[in-house]
Structure 1
Amino acid sequence: MRPSPAKRPPVAATPMAFVQAILRAYAAQNKSPSKALEFAQITPSQAKKSNAHITALQMERISSFAMHELDDEVLGCLSRQLPWGTYGMLVRASLTSPTLGVALKRWCRHHGLVTDDIKLSVEELDGKAHIRLRELKDLGAQREFGVLSILRNLYGVACWLIDSRITLEQVQFAFEAPAHQAVYPLMFQGPVQFGHTEASASDHAVSELVMNASYLELPLRRDEAALQRMLETALTLTVLQYRKDRLLLTQVKQALAMHPQDTHSAEDLAPLLNLSPRSLHRQLKEEGTSLQVLKDEVRRERAIELLQRTRKPVKQVAESAGFQNEKSFIRAFKRWTGQTPAAFRDARHRSGKVPM
Structure 2
Amino acid sequence: MKPVSVTPLAFVRTLLLAYARYGVDPAGALARAQIAPAALRQPGGAITSKQLEVLAAQAMRELDDEALGWFSRKLPWGSYGMLLRASLSAPDLGVALKRWCRHHGLLTGDVVLSLSVANEVASLTLLDQGVNPAMREFCLVTLLRNLHGVACWLIDSRIPLQAACFPFAAPAHAAVYPVLFPGPVQFDAPQASLRFDARYLAMPLRRDEKALTAMLPQALALVVRPYRRDRLLVQRVRLLLQSQAAPANAAALADALNVSPRTLHRQLQEEGASLQALKDEVRQAQAMDALRRTTRPIKQVALAVGFRNEKSFARAFRQWTGDSPAEYRRKAALGPSLDQTLDHGRVPRQ
Query: Is 276-285 or 33-42 further displaced after alignment?
Result: 276-285
Unaligned 5+ runs, structure 1: 1-6, 198-205, 333-339
- How far does the alpha carbon of each residue in 1:147-172 deviate from its partner, in whole angstroms, 9 at most, with x for none? 11111111111121222222222211
> Is residue 7 of structure 2 the alignment partner of residue 17 of structure 1?
no
* Contact 1:162 1:218 (8 Å CA) reproduced: yes
Residue in 2 that maps onto 1:196: 189
Tell me, in whole angstroms, the C-alpha distance in 2 between the residues paired with 1:92 and 1:136.
26
What TM-score, normalized to structure 1?
0.77
> Is residue 27 of structure 2 the alignment partner of residue 42 of structure 1?
no
> Is residue 201 of structure 2 the alignment partner of residue 216 of structure 1?
yes
- How far does the alpha carbon of each residue in 1:14-46 deviate from its partner, in whole angstroms, 9 at most, with x for none? 111211222111111111112111111123222
Tell me, in whole angstroms, the C-alpha distance in 2 between the residues paired with 1:11 and 1:275.
20
Tell me, in whole angstroms, the C-alpha distance in 2 between the residues paired with 1:276 and 1:48.
38
What TM-score, normalized to structure 2?
0.78
* Contact 2:122 2:197 (8 Å CA) reproduced: yes
Name the count of aligned residue pairs.
324
- How far does the alpha carbon of each residue in 1:294-342 deviate from its partner, in whole angstroms, 9 at most, with x for none? 45765787899999xx8999xx9xx79x77367544449xxxxxxx999
Residue in 2 that maps onto 1:180: 173
Residue in 2 that maps onto 1:278: 262
- How far does the alpha carbon of each residue in 1:98-142 deviate from its partner, in whole angstroms, 9 at most, with x for none? 222221111111111111111000111222221111012252311
Letter in structure 2 aligned against 1:225: K
* Contact 2:101 2:115 (8 Å CA) reproduced: yes
- How far does the alpha carbon of each residue in 1:34-84 deviate from its partner, in whole angstroms, 9 at most, with x for none? 211111112322233342221111111000111111111111111111111
Residue in 2 that maps onto 1:69: 62
Tell me, in whole angstroms, the C-alpha distance in 2 between the residues paired with 1:348 and 1:28.
79
2:25 to 19, 32, 46: 32
- Over 3 Å counting, the alpha-carbon distance change for 1:41 and 1:278 in structure 2 is closer
Residue in 1 that maps onto 2:47: 54
Letter in structure 1 aligned against 2:41: K
Unaligned 5+ runs, structure 2: 306-312, 324-330, 345-350
Tell me, in whole angstroms, the C-alpha distance in 2 between the residues paired with 1:145 and 1:268.
34
Residue in 2 that maps onto 1:203: none
Letter in structure 2 aligned against 1:188: F
- How far does the alpha carbon of each residue in 1:233-268 deviate from its partner, in whole angstroms, 9 at most, with x for none? 223277453123222111122234447xx9x76467
- Over 3 Å counting, the alpha-carbon distance change for 1:162 and 1:343 in structure 2 is farther
* Sequence identity percentage: 49
Residue in 2 that maps onto 1:253: 238
> Is residue 108 of structure 2 the alignment partner of residue 124 of structure 1?
no
- How far does the alpha carbon of each residue in 1:337-356 deviate from its partner, in whole angstroms, 9 at most, with x for none? xxx9999986897468xxxx
Tell me, in whole angstroms, the C-alpha distance in 2 between the residues paired with 1:304 and 1:92.
48
Q: CA RMSD in A?
A: 3.5
- How far does the alpha carbon of each residue in 1:199-254 deviate from its partner, in whole angstroms, 9 at most, with x for none? xxxxxxx2111222222223322222221221122232774531232221111222
- Over 3 Å counting, the alpha-carbon distance change for 1:93 and 1:138 in structure 2 is closer
Q: Give SS of 1:12's match.
A: coil
